[in-house]
Structure 1
Amino acid sequence: MDYGYDLVVVGGGVLGTFHAYHALKNGLKVALIEKDRTPQGATVRNFGQVVPSGMNAKWQAYGRESLRIYQEIQETFDISVRQEGSVYFASDEEEVQLLEELHKINQHNQYASQLLTKAKCLQMYNGLRNDYVKAGLFFPQELMVEPRVMIHRLHSYLKAVGLDLFPHKTVVECNRLSQGIEVYFSDGTSLSSAKVIICNGSEFKTLYPQLFNESDLEVAKIQMMQTKPQGKYVLPSSILTGLSIRRYEAFSECPSYAAIKAKEDMDSPVKKWGVHILFKQATDSSVIIGDSHKYADADRIDELSMDLNMDIDNYILHEAKNIIDLPTYEIQYRWSGMYSQCKTADIYQHTIEKDIHIVTGIGGKGMTASAGFAKANINNIFNLQHA
């Protein structure tokens, strides 16, 4: 299996796949390696919300480029993209103030957003509780995808335009040759490549354990659930609520943010479990609700069991019912997901022997920002900034 590639990407999740996508777009010969039959990690265990509005200025730029890339692919091949926008609901005057300040920031950044009065919010969103909402901020350009569908369709699309995809391949070694890198698999086969990009934390840990242990990576475990189908009920837009306003990085750039955060109760369940309330309607009319955040250092991931804490789920449901009256809150699925992030940086990047690039720990930004970030990173790695 000595094909000779310009690039081997290790990790078939959204971050690795979009690195492969942009390398292909630049005419490179690319192999994408996935250790499972299909991706099983954070890429398929999230809401599927593409929300640059929640990111700081640097990452919003990547997210906005991602919006363009998703739409560009969707025009050619259905990867489940829906442009239904995102809305933030404020539940008190402090959150209203943050929405107004973020609206001004986005006007300056030329990113479309619309302030909504309480009456307009109640008119647009059936079931939204009058005793919860005070105002809203709507971002019309933002997207939804179905995470358990999107990555598989994206792989199919890339295979059709020249990607070599290798599922069920576990990388056990990367060695520099006189020219390029040899990537060895547990089944005894190998591939040679000019460059390698490792976008999966487990392969990073296997291949470079000392470097992994020295990193500042941590893992976040999140809990989500999905209701039974809601019949004819329609919940337009991705819904982000007051707790999201108090959590997302974008709001940290607002003048009032620090003073508002300083007054929060650090002993509340919200802080204890890292809860903020999101809603997204799936294509079968069911509604995905979440989520919570529990953290551990990446080398102590065993502390984050896959068990579900029902106290957390019950708290999320209690809070959700105070926001939107859905026809049913009967739950058909519950699950947890994990993603890695850095404690002191916005993403982990390290280069070994010039041509082996570790790129992981994008955190909760993956579905939104990977497409745009990967474009810039491929241009940098292959010196394509002029492209």
Structure 2
Amino acid sequence: MSQQDCDLLVVGAGILGLAHAYAAAKRGLKVKVFERSHTPLGASVRNFGQALVTGQAPGPMLDLARLSRGLWAGLAAEAGLSIKQQGSLLFARTEAEETLLEAFCAGRAREYEYKVELLRGSALSDLYDGRFAHHRAALHGLDDQQIYSREAMPQLAKHLQQRYAVEFHFSTLVQDIQPGMVKTTSGVFRSPRVVVCSGHDYQTLLAEQISELKPQVCGLQMLRARLKQPLQLQHALLTGLSCVHYGAFSDLPEADAIRAQISQQQPELEANGIHLLISPTPYGELIIGDSHVYGSDIEPFNSEAVDQIMISLAEHTLGAPIDVIERWQGVYGARGPGPFSVLRVDEGVQAVLMHTGLGMSVGLGLGERTIAAMLGESAWPGTQAA
């Protein structure tokens, strides 16, 4: 086994791993990244690519999302990533959903300076030639962005390699981590700093330390589709169903009426953790989802009934039928002690884990803050550190 020196070893080439590599490399550190797959295949490429500021709860997540927004814009320009910056549209379908959006705009949005506008009347009717006029209102999140994840992650790795001389070891399994040393199937590598971004794999590395967080895995059903009536969609789309899932809205008193409405009228949504998200791809297609099921492991079998619920929701929102062209199972780490954890495992060894599906929204900012803390530039990022 060979021994090679650098300033930082990163385990995992998903969004968190790449974020830490970028934050370190742009500071001039020599970085090596290890990924057991031949290309990123986990949560970071199975998602909607929505980098949302609007949905984040006030506090650390909102701060990280705002930091990440600027980092995404800069990286997109540097690396030539496909990015949509027209924002998001969250549609109110019912009076309860409209009431919540009104309360959010009048209170929390002003207090925490969310960049939003509430569209109604002609402003709503003028969107996409009236395609969404059957909704009561739309919250336009002006700071929200979308990235085409399945292409962006490999592009980002290539950019870090070419511009910042980050060395990638794909198809390489990390077998053991000790202070100053990482043992892999490609050899033994040494560095004073190691960051482990192992996603939803809680068993291969640092299993004992991670188990104390009691994390779970979330499985999601996802679709890629084409509209039968073409629409050059430039915004991420959500509905009022998301108001009971995203922290910016879910703890507002008005959210209780939406929960009651779902429970009474559409209990299948609650039972399957369904709330509608739609993201446009650069090729005129739509990524549609999603449902949520939690456990220590996730079975590989998707439910056609759940897919049909999501298709129905999407067709109602879009005002047109769709043709499904691809289906897959999303996955992410979930339900830890907070939205993320930064564990100082040993001297110079950190593990950084997301416990929500918001890695694309906050991951770049979290990498920036963690590397800054490792180098003594700032405090460790909240909310969970040990």
Distance (whole Å) between structure 1 residues aligned to residue 271 and residue 292 of structure 2: 9
Q: Which residue of 2 aligns with 1:285?
A: 284
Q: Which residue of 2 aligns with 1:185?
A: 184
Q: Which residue of 2 aligns with 1:341?
A: 334
Deviation at 1:239, TM superposition (A): 0.5
What secondary structure, in the 3-state scheme, does the structure 1 residue paired with 2:114 have?
Answer: coil
Q: Which residue of 2 aligns with 1:272?
A: 271
| Correspondence list, 1:54-65, <5 A | 54-58=55-59, 59-65=61-67
Task: Tell me if the contact between 2:7 and 2:31 (Cα under 8 Å) persists in the aligned partners.
Answer: yes
Distance (whole Å) between structure 2 residues aligned to residue 155 and residue 119 of structure 1: 44
What secondary structure, in the 3-state scheme, does the structure 2 residue paired with 1:338 have?
Answer: strand
Distance (whole Å) between structure 1 residues aligned to residue 271 and residue 228 of structure 2: 31
Distance (whole Å) between structure 1 residues aligned to residue 243 and residue 129 of structure 2: 21
What secondary structure, in the 3-state scheme, does the structure 1 residue paired with 2:126 have?
Answer: helix
Shift of the 204–173 alpha-carbon distance from structure 1 to 2, 3 Å rule, reads: farther
* Structure 2 residue 163 is matched with structure 1 residue 170: no
TM-score (norm 1): 0.91
What secondary structure, in the 3-state scheme, does the structure 1 residue paired with 2:351 have?
Answer: strand
Task: Tell me if the contact between 1:230 and 1:286 (Cα under 8 Å) persists in the aligned partners.
Answer: no
Distance (whole Å) between structure 2 residues aligned to residue 283 and residue 229 of structure 1: 14
* Structure 2 residue 277 is matched with structure 1 residue 309: no
Distance (whole Å) between structure 1 residues aligned to residue 377 and residue 350 of structure 2: 16
* Structure 2 residue 178 is matched with structure 1 residue 199: no
Deviation at 1:255, TM superposition (A): 4.2
Say which of 209, 213, 217 aligns to 1:211.
209
Distance (whole Å) between structure 2 residues aligned to residue 202 and residue 280 of structure 1: 23
Say which of 351, 360, 364 aligns to 1:367.
360
Shift of the 335–126 alpha-carbon distance from structure 1 to 2, 3 Å rule, reads: farther
Distance (whole Å) between structure 2 residues aligned to residue 207 and residue 72 of structure 1: 32
Task: Tell me if the contact between 1:171 and 1:203 (Cα under 8 Å) persists in the aligned partners.
Answer: no
Distance (whole Å) between structure 2 residues aligned to residue 211 and residue 225 of structure 1: 35
Task: Tell me if the contact between 1:127 and 1:324 (Cα under 8 Å) persists in the aligned partners.
Answer: no
Instruction: Structure 1: give runs of 5+ residues left out of the alignment.
Output: none
Say which of 318, 323, 332 aligns to 1:330.
323
Q: Which residue of 2 aligns with 1:120?
A: 123
Distance (whole Å) between structure 2 residues aligned to residue 109 and residue 215 of structure 1: 30
Q: Which residue of 1 aligns with 2:43?
A: 42
Count of matched residue pairs: 374
Task: Tell me if the contact between 2:228 and 2:323 (Cα under 8 Å) persists in the aligned partners.
Answer: no
Partner deviation per Cα, 1:216-263 (whole Å, 9 max, x = no partner): 111110111111365752123100112112321110343433465356
Q: Which residue of 2 aligns with 1:321?
A: 315
Partner deviation per Cα, 1:137-171 (whole Å, 9 max, x = no partner): 10122211100111111111111122111111100
Distance (whole Å) between structure 2 residues aligned to residue 283 and residue 7 of structure 1: 34
Q: Which residue of 2 aligns with 1:248?
A: 246
Shift of the 145–305 alpha-carbon distance from structure 1 to 2, 3 Å rule, reads: same
Distance (whole Å) between structure 2 residues aligned to residue 368 and residue 185 of structure 1: 30
Q: Which one is further off, 235-244 or 109-118?
A: 109-118
Deviation at 1:52, TM superposition (A): 1.2
Shift of the 83–130 alpha-carbon distance from structure 1 to 2, 3 Å rule, reads: closer
Distance (whole Å) between structure 2 residues aligned to residue 206 and residue 218 of structure 1: 15
For residue 52 of structure 1, what is the amino acid of its counterpart? V
State, as a whole percentage, how many aligned pairs show the same letter.
Answer: 27
Q: Which residue of 1 aligns with 2:375?
A: 382
Shift of the 17–323 alpha-carbon distance from structure 1 to 2, 3 Å rule, reads: same
Distance (whole Å) between structure 1 residues aligned to residue 269 and residue 129 of structure 2: 26
Deviation at 1:95, TM superposition (A): 1.0
Deviation at 1:377, TM superposition (A): 1.3
Distance (whole Å) between structure 2 residues aligned to residue 138 and residue 71 of structure 1: 19
Instruction: Structure 2: give runs of 5+ residues left out of the alignment.
Output: 380-386
Task: Tell me if the contact between 2:53 and 2:143 (Cα under 8 Å) persists in the aligned partners.
Answer: no
Distance (whole Å) between structure 2 residues aligned to residue 121 and residue 245 of structure 1: 19
Distance (whole Å) between structure 2 residues aligned to residue 379 and residue 145 of structure 1: 25
Q: Which residue of 2 aligns with 1:135?
A: 137
Greater than 6 Å deviation, 4+ residue runs: none
Distance (whole Å) between structure 1 residues aligned to residue 204 and residue 291 of structure 2: 28
